Structures are given as structure tokens and as C-alpha cells.
């Protein structure tokens, strides 16, 4: 009787414990503990081996047989996930002793998850980072300096990687963009200027030039006016241009958001003029959808429906655009008539390694493999996900690829010539930039001129910028 | 003398503790611990990556000088307008549903369905309905009134009314059920007596129904205010960047952005505490005032 009762007590107690533990472990992301344990048990000796060989072996692929278990975390849609799973499977086949656990997190929750893992001291060994978040992570000492391994390893030929892609991940202890390398590019994403060839043909217009500086803002406005068509009810049905990049306009005109030394420089005449040019595309020239029009149907949906003549695109848009029922190609961004120059942003996301990783050499090996492996790069560009990180491949087979766009050279021009890091790369936090875009709506809807707006906005942004970059 | 009872009492105590343990542990771990941590954090600066630093009242100083804090607070207060409107509509619905008609439970179910519909799906549907050019709502306005409807989710002046309308659609069903229960709890003897005295339907409603529903009014107002102060999901779906000119951001949305976009955990905690204290004060005042107008049987 007594034991039976005791049993019940125990069961109740166990139940409580299970409830509490279940709550805890779901917070930690499930199975992480298990892999940690197995790592500790079976691989402690091997791990030591691998660090030793890594340190002593220069320029050879030492430690290729050492056992390790790496956690790799990233985000992405189904295509990206499938590509990476395939790559990782191939990697594990190549190195049978190295295990990789791949976790995909929805992109919107990625940095929340990552920061929580870091705070809980469970940082993945290899993970994605880019933009302002990379700056924050590297300045907080979360990331491993890859320079020593890069210099001693035979896995990476640094001269064959786009400098724009590598420089993004440099950090000298205070600022990014120079110093040692802390990450390897997953991709380089030139933001290009696409156009609907059929609409240009219909209007009898020559195509915009693929060479930087030949096609100007004025040319574009003149063409766009001819390409903009209203329907019988008087409502504009086809617009000349949509989603014109404010970054491109501002940079082409010689302005910028910051001076690179911590001062917000939006209150210059060049900046205001460029911003006004973008706003006037819809306000004055009526060749671009207004914010209200965008709200009803965004530029992307309109372009895909053949109702936009000129529209920006990234390499990742290729698969979606290959299926379009009209002809299209890409051109250089229009140049500012004031400077004769053009510019656009060049996005990039990187593979970074945790400073606390148990297997630095193998984490680096995986990052290098994912970033620069011939096969993976080939697969990536064939699927229309990215431009190859390897210069010889990009200039060779990628240019020859038998798919739209024809002017693939534009991608490479942006990477090697007039592409710039996105604005957020100048900061550790995007709060000031988000505020800028939120507030800028008064310029897009014509409530305020760009000149008035930037003058009032500068002190506010400066304050926010200083707060997040102190 | 007491010793004889100890064995029996102790067993009882152990059992009661065991049964009480799961919710208590749950509260301690997932309720009290975060509560205390966030209180501590509200005086610190912490980005989750580097160790936290004690900053005293800096977070609060910053908050009271931050334009977005006031904007989101104003937006939240604006949404409170939905509560009285919702009460009127749900009371009317409840009175209509409080009749012995065949198939009345089907109607009650229909009005209750929005309450159990997932808010994300509902928000996305409303996004389509409220579309400026192609939405059903503006199409309807055009057909009936022959005029172009507002840019619901694109115009800073219309974003909050849109949220209120969505909130009403999703909320009146639940309140209706409460009122229905209240109505059915009113003894018919009151109405019979009033009828004998010659009271009209309006008088009956005004002097019997309305006062006797006052505990329900009170409950709905208190829960409505707390719920409105905590509103977040709709804004997160429909105004992901805070809406035009930050017109759609509520205080919880603001907290979320600070915490999980900019990782200012300390600052977000301090805003959360201000929100908590605000809700506490408002509810306290309501309870004090309730003595003047809430009838208890």
C-alpha cells in the first residue's frame, strides 16, 4: 500500500519535472544538447589532433581525416536549403570523419535565434552574417579571425575571389572594410537595372546601354514618358520605371548617407537633388507608380505582369524572371547628368566562424568549401541564385551561360567597378536607417521637398546613428 | 495534542504541494523569473552579445525623450476607441441572439467564428479586403456611395481606424457571448414587474437590462483596455515597418522592435515595465471607479 502510494507520488513528481524540462529544452532548440554530448565523448582526442595539425601544418591540407562535428546555421527558401543540403552531403562524403549539422531558420527570425544562441553560449560553429549585423558581431568579439587560416591554407586562392566580396568581411579592431578577414562571401549580389525589351520595342526605343555612364537620368525620363501608357479610364496602366533605387541616385549624384567616419551627410545639395529626382519620377513626371499605387500592387508584381518597362533586380530574381512571357535584359544604372557617373549597391552575405568553436580548422574548412568550392559555385549560378564568387568562373562559363539576361557583363561590372556596400554596412545597427526610410515617405508623397526633409532629418539621424555606434 | 494530527496533516500537505507544484513551478520559471530579470534589465544596457552594463535611469530618460515612444503610445490610446464601439455592437448582437428562435445557435456560432480564427490568416485576408485599388471594401464603397474609399492601410490617418475595424470584426463575437450569458442571468421577474407598471421596452432596457449588465460592462472594459494595450499581431502583419509615418505602431510593437530587431534588451525591458505600470494604474482606477456604477447582486 505504502509503496503504491509512493509510486504515485513519484509519478506526479516526474510529471512536474517532465513538464518543466520540456519547456526548457524547447527553448534551447531541441537536440543541440545531444550533439554536444557526443562531441565531448568521442571526439575530444581527435579535436586536439586537429588543432595541433592545423597550427603546425602550413599550406597543406592537414587534419583532413580528423574527426569533428560542426553546427552550421543559415536561412533561405526551399531552393537554397536543398542546394546547401546537397553541398553538405557531398562535403561529408569527401571527409567521412566530419559531421555537419545543418539548421535552417526562417530569415525573419534568423538574427533573433542567433543572438539568443550566442547569449546562451551555444553559438553555431559556422553561420551566416552580413551587413550591420556582421559589424555588430565582429565588434563584439563573437567571430573568429580567419586571416591566419586563410594565409596558411591551400583551400583558398584569395586572388581568385572578388575583392569586393572579401573586403566586406575585413575588420581591423575598430572599423570594418579593412584589416583581417573574418568571413567568406556566400555570394555577391549586384543590384541591377532590368528592362522589358518588348515594351521598348513596342515604343520603338533603343535599349538602355549596358555600359556605365552612357544612359543618363534625362534619357531615362524621356524614355519612361514614352513608355508610360494610360488605359481608357485614364488610369496609368503601364509605367516607365518602378522601384528606382534611391541609393543609386544619391551615390551617382555624389552624395551619401554617411561620410564613413560617423557623420550623417544627408543634408547636402547633391543628396537632396538625387532624392528629389526619385520622388519626382512619380510626383512630377508621372512615369513611376506613386506610394498609393505601390500599396495596391507592388512594382515587382507589376513588372512580372509586363506593366513596368524598367525595374531593378538582383541575381536571385533570375529563376523567377526566366519564366516571364516577355523578353528582358539588364543595363547599367542610369548616370547622374551632374557627375556622369553611376552607382548601385552590391549586397553580400558571408559565412563566419564562431570564435568559441571547438573545431576552428574544420569550421574554416566548411566555410571555405561552401564559399568557394567549384561544384557548389557552379550549381549556385546554374540555379540562378548568385554570381560565382570565383573570378575565373564568373568571367568564364558564367558569362557564356545560355540564359537571360544577355548582358551578364553588367553583373560583373557592378562587382568590380561601380557597386558599393549597402548603406547599412556603415553601421552596427539599422535603427537610424529604418527611421530614415520611415520618415522619407513625406518626400515620396510630396508633402515635403527633399531639401526640407533632409535638413530636418539630419540631426535626428545623427543622434540615432551615434547611439547605435558608440 | 497536536502530534496526533501531524501524520495525517503531513500527508495532506505533501499531496497538496505535489498537486500545486506544476503551476507554481511554471509560474516561477516562466513568470516570475522573467519578471524579475526584466526589472533588473530595465536599468541596464544589454545587446545579448556583450556583457550587460548598469546604466541607472538612462533607459527611462531616453524613453521620455523618444519621439517613437510617444507616437506608439498615442497610437495605442487611439485604438482604445474600439472598446466602446465594440461594446455597443456586441450588446445589440447579444440582445438579438437572446431570443428563442429555431437555429439561433447557428447564428451564435457564426458570430463567434472570428474569435477562434487565427489572427495571422485573418490579418492577411483583411489586407486584401482593404486594398486601396482592388479591395472589396473600397469596391463596396464605390458601388454604394459612388466615391473612392480611403487608402486604408496606406494613409497615416486611416491605418488606426482600419485596425479598429478589424479588431471589432474579430472581437465582438467573444464579447457577445459574455453579454448573452449576462442577459440570461437576469431574472424575468424584473421585466414582468416593470411591464405591470407600464414600462416600455426602452424603459425596461434602460432601467433593468443595462444596469444589471454592469458587471459585464466592467469586465469587458477592463479586459478590453488590457488587450488593446497589448495589441501586436495585426500591426506586425499589416504594418511591418510601423506603417506610414509610424502610424500603425503600438507600444508592444515598439518593444518588440527594440528587443528583437535592434537588440536593445535593457531598453525594451524598461519600456515593458512602463507599459505594465501603466496598465496597472489604469486598472486600479477602474476598480476604484467601479464602486460607483457596477451593481453586484
Task: Say yes or no: B44 and B75 in one domain.
Answer: no
Interface predicted TM-score (ipTM) of this complex, two decimals: 0.80
B124 and B14 inside one domain: no
**Contacts with A9 from chain B: Cβ below 8 Å:** 14, 18
- Whether residues B102 and B243 share a domain: the answer is yes
Share of chain B above pLDDT 70, in %: 98
pLDDT of residue A303: 95
Contact A71, A125 (CB under 8 A): yes
Say if residues B105 and B111 touch (Cβ distance below 8 Å): no
Residue B48 near chain A (CB below 8 Å): yes
The DSSP line for A334-359 is PBPTTTS---EEEEEEEEEEBTT-S-
- Chain A: nearest CA to B104, how far in angstroms? 39
The predicted structure's pLDDT at residue A137: 94
Looking at the structure, tell me whether residues B184 and B241 fall in a common domain.
yes
Please give the residue range of the domain that contains residue B253: 62-293
> CA of B138, closest CA in chain A: separation in Å?
12
* Those residues with Cβ within 8 angstroms of residue B167's Cβ, 6 or more apart along the chain or in another chain: B79, B82, B86, B228, B231, B234
Same domain for B124 and B149?
yes
Neighbour tally for A95: CB within 10 Å: 19
- Which of B21, B48, B151 shows the shortest C-beta gap to A115? B48
Say whether A115 and B246 touch across the interface (CB within 8 A).
Answer: no
**pLDDT for residue A456:** 95
The helix or strand, by DSSP H or E, that contains position A258, with its residue range, turns out to be: none
Interface touch A295/B153, C-beta < 8 Å: yes
Mean pLDDT of B133-139: 87
The answer to whether the beta carbons of residues A220 and A310 sit under 8 Å apart is: yes
Interface of A with B (CB under 8 A): 9, 12-13, 15-16, 19-20, 23-24, 111-112, 115-116, 118-119, 136-137, 140-142, 291-293, 295-297, 429-431, 434-435, 437-439, 441-442, 460, 468
Distance CA B198, CA B204 (A): 10
Please give the pLDDT value at position A59: 42
Residues B159 and B177 occupy one common structural domain: yes
Residue that is last in its domain, among B45, B60, B75? B60
Q: What is the pLDDT of residues B148-175, one digit of tens each?
A: 888 888 888 999 999 999 999 998 999 9
Residue that finishes a domain, picked among B60, B81, B97: B60
Same domain for B280 and B247, yes or no, is yes
Q: How many A-B residue pairs are in contact by the CB < 8 A criterion?
A: 77
Chain A hits for B134, Cβ within 8 Å: 296-297
Looking at the fold, whether B32 and B79 belong to one and the same domain comes out as no
Q: Which residues of chain B neighbour A466 with C-beta distances below 8 Å?
A: none
The pLDDT value recorded for residue A249 is 97
Among A107, A115, A233, A293, which would you mutate to test the B interface (most chain B Cβ atoms within 10 Å of its Cβ)?
A115
Domain count, chain B: 2
| Same-domain check for residues B83 and B37 | no
Q: Write the CA distances from A171 to A124, A356, B43, B51, B53, integer angstroms.
A: 21, 18, 31, 21, 25
- From chain B, pick out residues whose CB is under 8 angstroms from the CB of A20: 25-26, 29
Tell me if B244 and A20 make a contact (CB, 8 A cut-off). Answer: no
pLDDT in tens, chain A (470 residues): 444 455 555 555 555 555 544 444 444 333 333 333 333 343 333 333 333 333 333 344 667 778 889 999 999 888 788 888 988 998 999 899 999 999 999 988 899 999 999 999 999 999 999 999 999 999 999 999 999 999 988 888 889 999 999 999 999 888 888 899 999 999 999 999 999 999 999 999 999 999 999 999 999 999 999 999 988 777 888 999 999 999 999 999 999 999 988 899 999 999 999 999 999 999 999 999 998 888 778 899 999 999 999 999 999 899 889 999 999 999 999 999 999 999 999 999 999 999 999 999 999 999 999 998 888 888 888 888 889 999 999 999 999 988 889 999 999 999 999 999 999 998 988 999 999 998 998 999 899 999 999 999 999 999 999 988 87
B201 and B136 in one domain?
A: yes
Grid cell locating B98: 437572446
* Cα of B131 to nearest chain A Cα, Å: 6
Best mutation target, B23, B48, B139, to test chain A (most A CBs within 10 A): B48
Interchain contact, A19 vs B262, CB within 8 Å: no
Q: Do B56 and B175 sit in the same domain of this protein?
A: no
In 10 A of CB B144, how many CB atoms? 8
The pLDDT value recorded for residue A52 is 38
Q: What CATH number does residue B170 fall under?
A: 1.10.3720.10
Nearest by CB to residue A16, choosing from B21, B133, B261, is: B21
The pLDDT value given to residue B179: 95
- What is the set of domains in chain A, with CATH numbers? 64-190+348-400 (3.40.190.10), 192-343+425-468 (3.40.190.10)
Whole-angstrom distance, CA of residue B248 vs CA of residue A391: 46
Does residue B56 sit in the same domain as residue B168? Answer: no
Strand A419-420 with A344-353, pairing = parallel
Assess whether the previous peptide bond of A287 is cis (omega < 30° from 0): no
Cα dist. B63→A408, B48, B69 in Å? 50, 20, 6
What is the distance in angstroms between the Cα of B11 and the nearest Cα belonging to chain A? 11
Residue of B nearest to A120 (CA): B48
CB nearest to A115's CB, from B29, B49, B134: B49
Instruction: Select from B14, B29, B60 the last residue of a domain.
Output: B60
Distance between B96 CA and the closest CA of chain A, angstroms: 38
Do the chains contact at B18 and A12, CB–CB below 8 Å?
yes
Instruction: Return the closest-CA partner of residue A411 out of A338, A355, A331.
Output: A331
Amino acid at each position: 500500500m505504502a509503496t503504491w502510494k509512493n509510486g504515485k507520488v513519484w509519478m506526479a513528481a516526474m510529471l512536474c519535472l517532465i513538464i518543466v524540462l520540456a519547456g526548457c529544452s524547447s527553448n534551447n532548440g531541441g537536440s543541440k544538447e545531444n550533439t554536444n554530448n557526443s562531441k565531448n565523448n568521442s571526439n575530444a582526442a581527435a579535436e586536439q589532433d586537429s588543432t595541433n595539425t592545423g597550427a603546425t601544418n602550413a599550406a597543406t591540407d592537414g587534419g583532413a581525416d580528423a574527426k569533428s562535428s560542426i553546427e552550421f546555421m543559415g536561412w533561405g527558401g526551399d531552393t537554397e536549403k536543398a542546394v546547401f543540403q546537397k553541398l553538405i552531403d557531398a562535403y561529408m562524403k569527401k571527409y567521412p570523419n566530419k559531421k555537419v549539422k545543418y539548421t535552417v531558420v526562417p530569415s525573419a527570425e534568423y538574427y533573433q535565434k542567433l543572438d539568443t544562441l550566442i547569449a546562451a553560449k551555444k553559438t553555431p560553429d559556422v553561420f551566416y552574417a552580413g551587413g550591420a549585423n556582421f559589424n555588430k558581431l565582429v565588434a563584439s568579439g563573437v567571430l573568429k579571425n580567419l586571416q591566419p587560416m586563410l594565409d596558411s591554407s591551400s583551400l583558398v586562392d584569395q586572388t581568385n575571389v572578388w575583392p569586393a566580396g572579401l573586403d566586406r568581411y575585413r575588420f581591423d579592431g575598430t572599423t570594418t572594410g579593412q584589416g583581417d578577414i573574418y568571413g567568406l562571401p556566400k555570394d555577391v549580389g549586384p543590384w541591377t537595372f532590368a528592362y522589358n525589351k518588348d515594351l521598348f520595342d513596342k515604343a520603338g526605343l533603343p535599349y538602355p546601354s549596358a555600359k556605365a555612364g552612357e544612359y543618363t537620368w534625362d534619357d531615362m525620363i524621356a524614355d519612361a514618358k514614352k513608355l508610360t501608357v494610360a488605359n481608357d479610364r485614364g488610369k496609368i496602366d503601364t509605367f516607365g520605371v518602378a522601384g528606382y533605387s534611391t541609393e543609386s541616385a544619391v551615390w551617382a549624384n555624389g552624395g551619401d548617407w554617411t561620410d564613413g567616419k560617423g557623420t550623417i551627410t544627408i543634408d547636402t545639395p547633391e543628396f537632396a537633388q538625387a532624392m528629389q529626382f526619385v520622388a519626382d519620377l512619380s510626383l512630377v513626371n508621372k512615369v513611376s507608380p506613386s506610394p498609393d499605387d505601390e500599396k495596391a500592387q507592388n512594382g515587382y508584381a507589376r513588372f512580372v505582369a509586363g506593366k513596368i518597362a524598367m525595374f531593378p533586380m538582383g541575381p536571385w530574381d533570375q529563376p523567377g524572371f526566366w519564366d516571364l512571357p516577355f523578353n528582358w535584359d539588364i543595363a547599367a544604372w542610369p548616370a547622374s547628368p551632374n557627375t556622369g557617373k553611376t552607382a548601385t549597391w552590391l549586397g553580400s552575405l558571408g559565412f563566419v566562424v564562431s570564435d568559441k568553436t571547438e573545431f576552428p580548422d574544420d569550421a574554416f574548412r566548411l566555410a571555405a568549401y561552401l564559399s568557394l568550392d567549384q561544384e557548389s559555385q557552379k550549381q549556385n549560378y546554374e540555379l540562378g541564385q548568385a554570381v560565382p564568387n570565383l573570378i575565373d568562373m564568373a568571367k568564364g562559363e558564367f558569362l557564356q551561360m545560355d540564359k537571360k539576361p544577355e548582358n551578364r557583363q553588367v553583373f560583373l561590372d557592378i562587382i568590380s567597378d561601380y557597386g558599393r556596400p549597402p548603406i547599412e554596412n556603415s553601421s552596427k545597427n539599422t535603427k537610424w536607417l529604418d527611421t530614415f526610410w520611415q520618415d522619407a515617405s513625406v518626400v515620396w508623397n510630396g508633402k515635403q521637398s527633399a531639401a526640407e526633409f533632409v535638413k530636418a532629418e539630419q540631426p535626428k539621424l545623427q543622434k540615432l546613428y551615434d547611439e547605435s555606434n558608440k | 495534542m497536536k502530534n496526533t494530527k501531524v501524520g495525517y496533516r503531513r500527508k495532506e500537505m505533501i499531496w497538496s504541494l505535489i498537486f500545486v507544484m506544476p503551476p507554481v513551478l511554471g509560474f516561477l520559471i516562466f513568470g516570475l523569473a522573467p519578471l524579475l530579470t526584466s526589472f533588473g534589465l530595465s536599468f541596464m544596457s544589454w545587446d545579448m552579445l556583450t556583457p550587460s552594463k548598469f546604466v541607472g535611469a538612462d533607459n527611462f530618460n531616453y524613453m521620455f525623450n523618444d519621439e517613437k515612444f510617444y507616437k506608439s503610445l498615442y497610437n495605442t490610446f487611439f485604438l482604445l476607441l474600439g472598446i466602446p464601439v465594440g461594446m455597443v455592437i456586441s450588446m445589440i448582437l447579444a440582445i438579438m441572439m437572446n431570443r428563442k428562435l429555431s437555429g439561433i445557435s447557428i447564428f451564435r456560432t457564426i458570430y463567434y467564428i472570428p474569435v477562434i480564427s487565427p489572427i495571422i490568416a485573418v490579418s492577411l485576408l483583411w489586407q486584401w479586403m482593404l486594398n486601396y485599388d482592388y479591395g472589396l471594401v473600397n469596391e463596396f464603397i464605390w458601388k454604394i456611395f459612388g466615391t473612392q474609399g480611403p487608402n486604408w492601410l496606406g494613409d497615416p490617418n486611416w491605418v488606426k481606424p482600419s485596425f479598429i475595424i478589424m479588431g471589432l470584426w474579430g472581437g465582438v463575437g467573444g464579447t457577445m457571448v459574455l453579454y448573452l450569458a449576462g442577459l440570461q442571468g437576469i431574472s424575468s421577474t424584473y421585466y414582468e414587474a416593470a411591464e405591470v407598471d407600464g414600462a416600455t421596452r426602452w424603459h425596461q432596457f434602460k432601467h433593468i437590462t443595462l444596469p444589471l449588465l454592469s458587471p459585464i460592462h466592467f469586465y469587458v472594459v477592463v479586459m478590453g483596455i488590457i488587450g488593446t494595450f497589448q495589441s501586436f499581431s495585426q500591426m506586425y502583419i499589416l504594418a511591418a515597418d510601423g506603417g506610414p509615418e509610424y502610424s500603425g505602431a503600438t507600444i508592444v510593437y515598439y518593444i518588440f522592435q527594440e528587443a528583437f530587431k535592434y537588440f536593445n534588451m535593457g531598453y525594451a525591458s524598461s519600456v515593458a515595465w512602463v507599459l505594465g505600470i501603466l496598465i496597472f494604474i489604469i486598472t486600479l482606477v477602474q476598480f476604484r471607479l467601479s464602486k460607483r456604477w457596477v451593481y453586484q447582486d
